[in-house]
Structure 1
Amino acid sequence: MCAAKPKSTAGLLGWFRVRTGWTRHWGVEALGAAMTQRKVLVVTFVDLVDGAGGPARAAVAVARRLHEEGRLVGIVSPSADPEAVGLPRALLYSPPHPLVHRVIQRILSFPSQLSDSTLRRLRETLFDFFLSRSGIMRHSDTVLFLKPAFPRSADRASKAGIQSWVWASILHPHFNRDRILEEREKWRVTGGQAYTDPRRITALERFFSRVDHILVGSSLARRSYLDHGIPEGSVSLLEQTFAIDLRAFEPPMAPHEGEIFRVLHVSQMNLIKGIGYLLTAWSKLRLDSAELVLVGSMEPGIIDLCERLAPPSTRVTGFTRNVARHYAEADVFVSPSAADLHPYTVLEAMASGIPVIVSNQCGISAAVDHGRNGFVYPHDDCEALAGHIRWCQDNPIELRKMGLAAREKARNFDQENFAENLIRAIDEAPG
């Protein structure tokens, strides 16, 4: 026997909820909560699932803090696991419905002539399209974007009089584009299409022109926006806008001992990561009983660089989920970025008790106290990089002390501090 459809609106909503079970994904329950007590909507573009990386953990930390204060409208992401996030299912919103999202992902994953950068832009565009047409945004006083890629949604917020913020996880797109073009010419390789895609750059420009406030974590980042026409009053330098889960990365129980001196780099390697400079410096050193370990995926151009420049003492592992094992075996970590704002791996290494060597074009270099927990050098100075690596091998006792200092420094960048600083900046802003 079929249940009769109720006549009232409230009854109809309840009937639809029971019959379909879809309302939580389309934000109906979240909207009800938001209208009575919550004010901030958090938007990210990472899957909030168990084992997710640094950006996901940072987003969850912010959302949890807002939820504790009774101010969270919801958190928007491509997909989310309530148990992994630690928030009520009603506050997790995925545009479109996760089933539709999976179908779209499957279609886009079919073999095609589309480049990775084009597929990435299509995913961002679809996410932005559905979010901008959802009802959840209009019940917010503030939208906090943790990914600068959604111009339609930023435009929707602007027209609705909703204050919008973005935690800028990238340098200005024109800065990145120009640096990639320089790197291509220098190393004679292709790559970095995600940074030079004209349509994506246009979308990012439109996004940054729509949001009210841009939060950055370094003077390098702030200057990149000011130099490309963003009003000074719209860009705020916020200290400690980096986040690390200290529980996920800890120093090994016993100090690293071994005959091999290991230099480690971990990233999704593309031209922006400065791998050519690291390989050049490593080739100059010709160290005995030493190994350079490169962990992570590689663009074709980086594979070409390795084939041309990497000496036999270089080991390439490819992508792995067990990054902690490599941190435990390393003596020093190097981030030779040509232009990189938030390489989480630097903080992961520091939290693991490893001294770090980072370029001055790495936004997170602000976390490094030169000579105390690591070294900072000019990004294109291979001689300086080689000198710091050699010093680390020649001074194992001092290096171990630097590792302890790195761990202590990393404590300042735990997720709770990150969430507190970010929310305070929003609360203290005029208007």
Structure 2
Amino acid sequence: MLASRGDALTPYLFAALERRYPVVGRLDPELTPAQRYSVAATTFRPDRSAWAERFFKSGLAFRMRSRNAVRQLAAVREGYDAVVQVHALFDVPGTRSMLYVDCTHRQSAEQWPDWNPMTGPQLEQWYARERDGYLRAAHLFAFCEETRDSLVQHYGVPAERVTVTGAGANVERFPEIAPGPREPVILFIGNDWVRKGGRVLLQAFAKVRAAIPAAQLVLVGTDPPDAIDQPGVQVLGRVRDRAAIARLYGRAAVFAMPSYFDPFPLVLLEAMGFGVPVVASRSCGIPEIVVDGETGALVDAGDVDALARELVAVLADPARARAMGLAGRARVEERFSWDAVVQRMDPALQASWTA
């Protein structure tokens, strides 16, 4: 049995699991419109960002999603050995659960407090709810090493019950990589401008532009909160057309994401899959995606000079950039397809059938 409240990765992961194992059904415990209204009313804050975080991590929302999962499970007529659940924002009580976890709340609360809308008893209740779910799970699949360490050190999960599996690129098929050098375009795709280092990138780009006057910076995602009036910068906002996104990757000489906190950004896998070298920060799981000096370059979060230096180095050497892009494509195909992720889950899933 597969269960997810609706994450962009869910269709790709579930399809890979169904290619490998007999799956009797899927649960989607996401809130109904009426439930969403109730949660919105109880979590309202004038600041939209604060409201979103309270809504997302509401105890009421957790309980409602869990009840939805239980009701859906009751309608399943076939037997099943385990429930593979994406993230820990709901519970499926009374089952042998196996959780796929991007990051723990402890990680985000410590490294990016804006993701933590709770304090005092409410926060402790959330930690207790998280801990109960993790300890009850038959096994946990962590996106990255740091998440595994948090599960073990902060929540007391036995190390042997956690497997680091990574994640996959949410793309059905990557195109052939066109020969020849690309335009001096730096591409950024992200919906959390500040957390993903957008302001740092703008500062670094001013230095890049001084060294390479033809350089361009293309920003895709949520419109930045800052007014941008900087030569060479193009703000596209949200781009939902996947063909348009593919064309942007095809133009870009380098992908930049200097995040302050990013558990395991799948957009880096996507960029690498399109043959684009990546310059990113050493945040959380990013060093497990980008091989420094081979598929791109890593810098410390917030280091404007280092970011500018690495971007200039990639733009100034098209042959090296292409080699990095090809190495990144090979790494994604070998390690970060969803089938490869499921293969790393296999020992624990097989064990669940014989327990």
The offset of 1:390, in angstroms, is: 1.1
The offset of 1:349, in angstroms, is: 0.4
Aligned residue in 2 for 1:165: 98
Q: 1:217 to 1:109 in 2, by over 3 A?
A: closer
Find the aligned partners of 1:271 and 1:226 in 2 and give their Cα distance.
29
Contact in 2 for aligned 1:256/1:329 (Cα 8 Å): no
Find the aligned partners of 1:295 and 1:201 in 2 and give their Cα distance.
37
Find the aligned partners of 2:10 and 2:221 in 1 and give their Cα distance.
17
CA offset digits 1:65-123 (Å, max 9, x no partner): 32xxx3x2311125xxxxxxxxxxxxxxxx78xxxx3555588789x955222333465
Aligned residue in 1 for 2:3: 43
Aligned residue in 2 for 1:263: 186
Aligned residue in 2 for 1:15: none
Match of 2:106 among 147, 170, 174: 174
Q: Establish whether residue 291 from structure 1 lines up as the match of residue 212 from structure 2.
A: no
Find the aligned partners of 2:124 and 2:251 in 1 and give their Cα distance.
39
Match of 1:225 among 137, 146, 151: 151
Find the aligned partners of 1:251 and 1:297 in 2 and give their Cα distance.
29
CA offset digits 1:360-402 (Å, max 9, x no partner): 1141431322212111222233322222111011111111121
Find the aligned partners of 1:257 and 1:377 in 2 and give their Cα distance.
23
Contact in 1 for aligned 2:53/2:117 (Cα 8 Å): no
Q: 1:378 to 1:230 in 2, by over 3 A?
A: farther
Q: Establish whether residue 117 from structure 1 lines up as the match of residue 57 from structure 2.
A: no
Aligned residue in 2 for 1:249: 174
Aligned residue in 2 for 1:313: 232
Contact in 2 for aligned 1:250/1:353 (Cα 8 Å): no
Kindly report which structure 2 residues correspond to 1:28-177, keeping only aligned pairs within 5 A, or say none. 41-46=1-6, 53-66=8-21, 70=22, 72-77=23-28, 101-102=32-33, 104=35, 113-114=44-45, 115-121=51-57, 125-134=63-72, 135=74, 139-151=79-91, 153=92, 156-157=93-94, 162-170=95-103, 172-177=104-109
The offset of 1:43, in angstroms, is: 1.0
Contact in 2 for aligned 1:222/1:235 (Cα 8 Å): no
Letter of the aligned partner of 1:295 in structure 2? V
Q: 1:207 to 1:143 in 2, by over 3 A?
A: farther
Aligned residue in 2 for 1:26: none
The offset of 1:169, in angstroms, is: 1.5
Q: 1:215 to 1:204 in 2, by over 3 A?
A: farther
Task: Name the TM-score, length of structure 2 as normaliser.
Answer: 0.81
CA offset digits 1:147-178 (Å, max 9, x no partner): 22114x3xx23xxxx322211122x2122122
The offset of 1:411, in angstroms, is: 0.3
Letter of the aligned partner of 1:46 in structure 2? G
Find the aligned partners of 1:347 and 1:396 in 2 and give their Cα distance.
21
Kindly report which structure 2 residues correspond to 1:4-15, keeping only aligned pairs within 5 A, or say none. none
Alignment gaps of 5+ in structure 2: 46-50
Contact in 2 for aligned 1:59/1:146 (Cα 8 Å): no
CA offset digits 1:298-347 (Å, max 9, x no partner): 5xxx51xx338x73332221111132222112111122122212211101
Task: Name the TM-score, length of structure 1 as normaliser.
Answer: 0.68
Find the aligned partners of 2:44 and 2:4 in 1 and give their Cα distance.
28
Q: 1:325 to 1:229 in 2, by over 3 A?
A: same
Q: Superposition RMSD on alpha carbons, in Å?
A: 3.1
Q: Secondary structure at the match of 1:340?
A: coil
**How many pairs were matched up?**
333
Letter of the aligned partner of 2:204 in structure 1? A
Q: Establish whether residue 406 from structure 1 lines up as the match of residue 321 from structure 2.
A: no
Find the aligned partners of 1:407 and 1:251 in 2 and give their Cα distance.
10
Letter of the aligned partner of 2:2 in structure 1? V
Q: 1:204 to 1:61 in 2, by over 3 A?
A: farther
Aligned residue in 2 for 1:363: 285
Q: Percent identity?
A: 22
Letter of the aligned partner of 1:426 in structure 2? L
Q: Secondary structure at the match of 2:217?
A: strand
Aligned residue in 1 for 2:48: none
Find the aligned partners of 1:200 and 1:42 in 2 and give their Cα distance.
28
The structure having more radius of gyration, on CA atoms, is 1
Q: 1:385 to 1:180 in 2, by over 3 A?
A: same
The offset of 1:263, in angstroms, is: 0.9
